[in-house]
Chain A
Amino acid sequence: MAIELKMPALSPTMEEGTLAKWLVKEGDSVSAGDVLAEIETDKATMEFESIDEGTVGKILVPEGSENVKVGTVIAVLNGEGEEAAPSAEAAAPAAAEPEAKTETSAASAPERPKSAERAADPEVPAGTNMHKLSVREALRDAMAEEMSRDDRVFVIGEEVAEYQGAYKVTQGLLEEFGPKRVIDTPITEYGFAGIGTGAAMGGLRPIVEFMTFNFAMQAIDHIINSAAKTNYMSGGQMRCPVVFRGPNGAASRVGAQHSQNYGPWYASVPGLIVIAPYDASDAKGLLKAAIRSDDPVVFLENELVYGNSFDVAQLDDHVLPIGKARIMREGADVTIVSYSIGVKFALEAAEKLAEEGIDAEVIDLRTLRPLDTQTVLESLAKTNRLVVAEEGWPACSIASEVIAVCMEQGFDLLDAPVMRVCNEDVPLPYAANLEKLALIDAARIVSAARKVCYKD
């Protein structure tokens, strides 16, 4: 059987090349791996090897030929025992048409399927007992409950076991669940994030604690390249149900390297769920949901609210829906959208605005990816004015994203441009006065709300 040797594509981008030199002549017998020719691409000269054994039949493209299109038949190789006679149809070089190539220019992306029915927070039955719980305790309880429920769940990170957690979030877990399921690591974020991700691929449900998300930058390759993308790259075969959690955002006087909000970073990545709760009830209900999720979750806490206490319903199983924002305060005049510690400032701002006769609605996004744009737009339809408050830098932020959504999907609803209130666009300074200047506060949110209400 004669084998047509075609001008090979020798790089991902090669479309044509120069047939620089033939190293065999007609009638030569060759075996697999022998170099037949040298081909020049725009980047390099490459050797073209024989894949089969046989005798070189007709050489159809002479050496020195330039601009030979990929796929052109350049020679014919005759198999064992065949005469070195080229077939008539192979006599003339012809550019092959690779059947597989599809016209990408003409193809347009299909309609993206709409997301499922939106889940609402479950009703808390009347008469349910409420108790005060700090965010720290709520997170701890969420982990303990899920560890009791599912023996695949374990906690791994720096100082999570014997030290009881750098911020005491894992307090008591070692005692309750033992060293098999509460595991202290060396200071080695890249490594243990990889081990956590691999364990999730291997069927477990790891909770990977970062002492702070600032240190997760050492591990971000596993969060994004390993955890977020593998389900897609495997055509849905490889699950990665891991939770990466820890404090995020500015703490207090710890300087630039320990003070950063990574919400926008992770929220830009398809394949991740990103949750950033504010109060204890959401912290508990959403962490439980995160642990049960079959997807990789980045769960962003805030050190400054760990000690704050809130009412939490005493339920056997307090689980909240991922991807659903929460209206923290209803109002009619202006919407303030925020998340994490920003909600605290937004609620303070709403109080002050109420004193001035401005009725503000406060929305806690709670989940940053997928973003609950519907709740934001419904509120905008009511108030027609919107401010985004974010403890984080302004550029390429969650605020930017919310503003884009309002422009694209709520333009006709807007009575004023949407404003964002973010941290100053500087690394966070150490000096107390400068730090205070750099971070958002209620006063700045009040000022922005007045502006969009034209009451400034």
Chain B
Amino acid sequence: MLTLKNIVTYYGNICALKGVSLDVKQGEIVTIIGGNGAGKTTTLKTICGLVPATSGEIFFLDKDITNKPTSDIVESGIVMVPEGRRVFPRMSVLENLQLGAYLNKNRPEIKNDLEKVFDMFPILKDRIKQIAGTLSGGEQQMLAIGRALMARPKLLLLDEPSMGLAPKIVTNIFNIISEINRTGTTILLVEQNARMALSIANKGFVIETGNIVLEDTAKNLLRNEEVKKAYLGE
């Protein structure tokens, strides 16, 4: 579904990705794990066209989307939930969700999607009028995911959804991610919380300083000695 071939990305003079290749198959949950500054977020941003790739190619559903404008990429079905949630802080929950459906002009469809999001996150329905900046961290993460779902993604990119959340809420969020996947959305998940990410993923990539150093099924990675030592704290 999504294929990255030798993607190189620079921030000014700094080379953040040194030839990343990975692929995501339809219906899977794929995770990219790695430490700070390894290039996880940059990989997602490059996929969405928020950061230009210097070289390499990105294919989505057999179409070349390398360095296309973000709005075109979103329209083709890749939607990102940015790191740190990034809800529109002074807008209400409803307005945030409506902006998620920005590219959809079909009103009955939007209404229907809104109901689906509220079924998935009942708390958002209770807070429909509340200003997003006043929600708790977990609620903001739910809103950010809900907002992305309003864009009807075929492939959902999640950037550190567990960041700054209480363990109980993290479990809750990961259950929801699995549920979204079961309804047919492919997921590419970037996480520092490697154990959590690998527990729900089909496949994992380990990234270190801009290079993919390991790729395997999630089950194998959980048993891998190096991964255990470096990322699972065993």
The finding on whether chains A and B are genuine partners in a shared complex, rather than unrelated, reads: no
Chain A residues packing against B (C-beta within 8 Å): none
Chain B residues packing against A (C-beta within 8 Å): none
